[in-house]
Structures are given as structure tokens and as C-alpha cells.
Amino acid sequence: MASIFKRTKRKSEPYTIQYLDHRGKRRTAIGFTDKGLTEELAGKLETEARLRRTGMVDAGLDRITEQRLLPIEEHLAEFQESLGDNSPQYVKLTMGQVRRTVEGCKFKTLADIEAETVQKYLRSRRKEKSTGHRTYNQYLQAFGTFCNWCVTSRRMLANPMLGVERLNTAVDVRHGRRALTADEVSKLIASARTSGISIQRYTGEQRARIYLMAYLTGLRRKELGSLTPKSFDLDATPPTITVAARASKHRKEDVLPLHPELAAMLRQWLLGIQPGEKLFPKLGQRKTHVMVRKDLERVGIPYKNDEGVADFHASGRHTYITELLRNGASLPEAKELARHSDIKTTMKYTHIGINDQARAIAALPVVQQTVPAAADTPRAVSEPDAALQMRCISGGSEGHSVSLNGNEGTDQKRQNPRHCKGFDAVWQFVSDVVKIGATGFEPATS
């Protein structure tokens, strides 16, 4: 039973209420100067405690209410701590975007967060800073991640950013990339190898090896920079390369097959390198686009054209994925080799032009056309009827080819493009142009 009392005899002094909460702990609340009103409040507090004690009211809602009214800075500090398992770069980028959104929207508590306010701020920021759709979406994603964390940590009942639409990045491409051809890659490698100069503290031979590794593995810049002799198993069948989880973009260890010719080159490259020594030291910190631009321009290949730029990511990873598809790999195979979680992401890395489409059309089998003899038909065959007969002869009743002698099946087989212009042919072409080079590996200067 709740009790009410006054601590002093002053009329202006409000009554004090003491009662037991749903956990059996004694609580104190301030009532009113009027005794009747204070008794009503005491009864209400007792009723709420009883409802929570019997499970008719969720006691966890009280904690959420308290959390929503705390200064938002306290939540931001704990959110940043929860991101500790991610890379420092990701933490810095995410927290920067979240804090700028909170400051721009002038949110003081979690209760202040409204999706409409966030959208207005980001739209105004996009106009003032001239940022693109991709950056707009990144801010939405970062702030949505913070709100999701607030829900899972029982600070909010629901994420207010759910359902907020992203902008279409396809209509606002700020940094389009293009893939190189196999011939252009071979010229890029030869340009670096014969340059005789050092760029970004890498010799020409080192740059040639970096370009070739990026082209034949599709690894990103930081992933290449993390490689040591321990990353390779050249005696396995097939030879493999392992990307450590700490270096991988999706924070998982990846084991990928190596091209046989690259495996043979690596046996020479790894001679004299200590097991824990980096093949390409500090590659993740270098301006690799400068290397590629200068080596491309040396052989007359434009760094940027109407299709986009051919920076390090484009000349390596984009070209790798595009060439996989050009030379017979299926889309699911390319997705797995690219280590993408969604095949839509893989599609963004493919650059299939009109020449590729023309080759695909030319690879279609030619349909044989036959016209029945005059004795076999009571009337002349019109052009529409001939076309219909041609389709029937080509496809048969079940959609399969039918031989001219009436037997099902056909002795003619279509040559698989994968057999006539496969990946092996491309890599053989590259290896013919690009020699292995000097034995041993020259470490980069600091």
C-alpha cells in the first residue's frame, strides 16, 4: 500500500509518495500540494506496478522511454564502440556521416528523430555541397544503421528510417569506370616494365606485377597490399590464393583458384621473400590511379574517354570480371570469383559493348531452310508458309532440332564459344606478350 506524507509543515510543500514497484523495490515520487490529487497519483502508480508485476504491461517499455530521453551523444558514443570489429576506415566514415546528420537535423534525443527531417537535411546538403545520389544514399544507409542498432539494443521501438526511398544512382554517375581489353592490359603491363622509372615508389617491374595480379585475380588494392608468401598454396590442385578476413572488404576469409600461368610466375616472384613479408608494401596507401594513368598514356591509351576512366580498380577488377564473362564464364561463376553477395553487384562490373553483342549474335546456329518438292504439296509454298515450315524443321514439336532424314537429333554440333575463345586463350595471349621478368622480387622503397 502506498503512503503519502509531507516532509515539512509548509502548505507550499508537495506531498511525497512511497510505493513498491513491480520488482518489489521501494520507490519515491513527488505528488501535489493537494492531498486528494496526491492520493489519486499514488493509486495510479500502484496500479501500474501491479500490471507490470503480473505481466499485463511490458516493463521493458519503461527502459525504452528512459533511453529515448537521454542525450543522443551518449548513444552515439556507445554506437561507435559497437563498431569496433570493423575496419577503422569504416568506423570513421560511418560515424562521420551519422554525426553530421544528427548535427544538421539538430537532434538532441532519440525522441527527436524523424525521417522527414533527415530527408530535408540531406536534400539541402546535396544542393549546397553538390553531392551526388550515391553520397545521399550512403548517408541514409549510415543513419539507418545507427537507428537499427538503437532498436536491437532496446533504445527505440522501431527504426524511423524504414521505408525511406533511396535515389537512383544510375541517373547520376559521377565517376564512371570502363574495362580494358586484354590487348590494352598487355600494353599497360609492357609500358610499366619498360618505363625505367619509379612511380609511387614502385619500380616498373613491380608495377607490371601489380597490374598482372589485379587482372588475373580481381583483387582490390588493399587486398593485393596484404599478400605475403603465406597467402599462396602453389602446390595445391588447383593452386590457390587466400585473402585474409581483415583485408577482405566483406571481412571474411576468401580462398580463390589461381590461373596456372600466374602460379608459375609466382614461383619466381616469391624467391627470396620472407614468409611474412608483403609482396607489395603499402599498396593500399599509394595513389594507384596515378600509376595507371601514366603507364597508359605512355603507350597512347587514354586514361579517360566517353565510357569512363580506367583507374586501378577499373583496369584490374572491372576488367577481370568483364573478361570472365567475355570468355565463357557464367554469371554465377563470375559472382563467386568476384566474391559478391548479390549478382546485381556483379552486373555493375560488366562492360559488354556492341562488339560483344555482335559476337554473341554471330555465335547463334544458322537454321537450314528446306522447301518441300512440288509433288509433295498440292500448292505453291508462300513466303509465310515457308518461314513457318523453316521454324518447324528447326525446332520440331518439342523445340529440339530434327534431321532432314526424319530422325530426331542432328549430327551437327555447335561449337562452344568457351572452347574457341576461352580464358586460356586470353591468358596465353597476355603471357606471350608479358615475360616473367627478372628473377626475384624487388621490395618497394619506403
SS3 380: coil
Separation CA 172–CA 50 (nearest Å): 58
pLDDT tens-digit series, residues 158-184:
999 998 998 887 776 667 899 999 999
Range with lowest mean pLDDT among 13-27, 198-212, 342-356, 408-422:
408-422
DSSP 215-231: HHH---HHHHHT--GGG
Rounded distance, CA 74 to CA 146, Å?
Answer: 13
Q: Which three cell numbers stand for residue 196?
A: 625505367
53 and 72 in a single domain? The answer is no
Strands 232-233 and 3-5: unpaired
Whether residues 187 and 321 share a domain: the answer is yes
Domain that holds residue 149: 68-171
Write out pLDDT tens, residues 41-84.
999 988 888 877 777 766 667 777 788 889 999 999 999 999 98
Residue 237 pLDDT greater than 90, yes or no: yes
Q: Which amino acid is at 265?
A: M
Q: What's the pLDDT at 445?
A: 52
Beta bridge partners of 309: 177, 304
- Choose the weakest-confidence range: 9-13, 91-95, 117-121, 360-364: 360-364
Can you tell me the mean pLDDT for 259-283?
93
Cα of 131 vs its chain's centroid, Å: 20
CATH code at position 259:
1.10.443.10
Report the alpha-carbon angle 85-86-92, nearest 5.
125
Model confidence at 186, pLDDT cuts 50, 70, 90, reads: very high
Please say whether the beta carbons of 292 and 303 come within 8 A: yes
- Per the structure, the count of domains in the chain is 3
> Does residue 396 form part of some domain?
no
Q: Are residues 298 and 245 in the same domain?
A: yes
DSSP string, 57-93: S-THHHHHHHHHTSBHHHHHHHHHHHTTTS-HHHHHH
pTM of the shown model = 0.61
Are 48 and 73 in the same domain? no
Pairwise CA distance, residues 401 & 436, whole Å? 48
Residue at 446 is within a domain: no
Q: Are residues 328 and 188 in the same domain?
A: yes
In this model, does residue 401 exceed pLDDT 90?
no
Whether residue 196 has pLDDT greater than 60: yes
Q: Is residue 404 part of a domain?
A: no
- Residue 57: predicted pLDDT: 64
Cell numbers found for residue 229: 608468401
Instruction: Give the model's confidence band at 379: pLDDT under 50 very low, under 70 low, under 90 confident, else very high.
Output: low
Q: Say which residue the cell 595445391 belongs to.
A: 236
**Whether 191 and 331 share a structural domain:** yes
Instruction: Find out whether 238 and 300 touch, Cβ atoms under 8 Å.
Output: no
Q: Same domain for 186 and 322?
A: yes
| Residue 161 sits in the same domain as residue 85 | yes
| Percentage with pLDDT > 70 across the chain | 81
Domain final residue pick, 144, 171, 198: 171
Q: Which residues pair with 5 in a beta bridge?
A: 16
Evaluate whether 303 touches 332 at the Cβ level (below 8 Å). Answer: no
- Show the cell assigned to 244: 585474409
From CA 143, how far away is CA 360, in angstroms rounded? 44
Is the same domain home to 104 and 189?
Answer: no
377 part of a folded domain: no
Q: Please write down the HEC assignment for all residues of 174-186.
A: CCCECCCCHHHHH
With cell 569506370, the residue in question is 177
Q: Sorting pLDDT into bands at 50, 70 and 90, what band is 266?
A: very high
Q: Quick check: is 436 in a domain?
A: no
Q: Are residues 219 and 135 in the same domain?
A: no
364 within domain boundaries? no
| pLDDT score of 402 | 37
Q: Give the CATH number of the domain where residue 160 resides.
A: 1.10.150.130
**361 belongs to a structural domain:** no
Order across the sheet with 26-30: list the strands.
3-5, 16-20, 26-30
CB 340 within 8 A of CB 332: no
Task: Report the phi/psi class of residue 3: left, alpha or beta, with left for phi > 0 and alpha for psi in -120 to 50.
Answer: beta
pLDDT of residue 388: 35
Task: Please give the Cα distance from 141 to 283 (Å, whole number).
Answer: 29
Sheet arrangement for strand 232-233? 232-233, 240-243, 254-257
- 321 and 209 together in one domain: yes
Q: Which grid coordinates belong to 315?
A: 583496369
Domain boundary pick from 270, 305, 335: 335
Say whether both 328 and 250 belong to one domain.
yes
Residue 348: inside a domain: no
Last residue of a domain, one of 316, 335, 354: 335
Q: What angle do CA 268, 271, 274 make, to 5 degrees?
A: 145
